[in-house]
Structure 1
């Protein structure tokens, strides 16, 4: 008598195939986690060897000492650092450095005594940042981070599908054999 566990029909999984399929799916997710970890470490280790100078970026209605006015280019560069204000003016007058403080994360904060509060400022500044390779690793991290929940759902559905396929193959194989006797 042939064993149900070893019966092979085209497209049918047996109980003996389950560990192999689960191992392959597990290895796929292990590779994804490894790529995410290496990408994160690689992106963080990239030197900030590119620089850029932005001339006269408008900071609208600088009016509060509690608000840091962040420059626009910060979000488009990886390993953003070394924000340095070259000049600030309100169109006609140069704003002295005593009227604002500079944040290393890329922004200006007005001082309470600034006579240029409630006006638009034009800031000219320089930044250092890493290049395209750092942006690529950052994008990879973001995509993997955004799809982690989807990966869990896909893994669960795949495992349920494998179990159902094996169970259907086993029970349908038993019923067919029983009806032939």
Structure 2
């Protein structure tokens, strides 16, 4: 009974000790064989693919919500003009069809960004750049009327010029970060070494 108690106490104490050089599980003096290296790189690639899917899905979902809101505001402006507060502040200066057109261009820009984020092909970055350049005229349009025609600057409608442009810019930045990560994994894979067992 005393031996069991001693073993149990020792095993409990070992849980709280820091690992030392004597720990055989931490012995990294022997190089990994090609199969172990391949498993490691495969796990890195799988982890990167999962994170890429997660982030791309999250950004695509955000863009989809913004597109749905823009389409709602377009139909609201078409059926009952100037009822929405963020459109009503431009009532004196802008025609209703111009507001609807600007919102349709914003929908187009956000759709291209969403398509570029979701689609994994060699040309998906083009869609992101198309989205970014398409959202610039929308931003210029709204900023022109906000800065030159309004008696005072309205912070509550700042999302009109900034929304599509920042959405496209964020999607471009996300794509850049994921691309850098995949390049890093490829560089690490290129550093695989040939393991020669001692004979």
Question: Which of the five TM-score ranges fits, normalised by the shorter chain?
Answer: 0.3 to 0.5
TM-score by length of 1: 0.42
Higher relative contact order structure (alpha carbons within 8 Å, sequence separation ≥ 6): 1
TM-score of the superposition, structure 2-length normalised? 0.39
Query: Whose helix fraction is larger, Structure 1's or Structure 2's?
Result: 2
Which one has a bigger Cα radius of gyration?
1
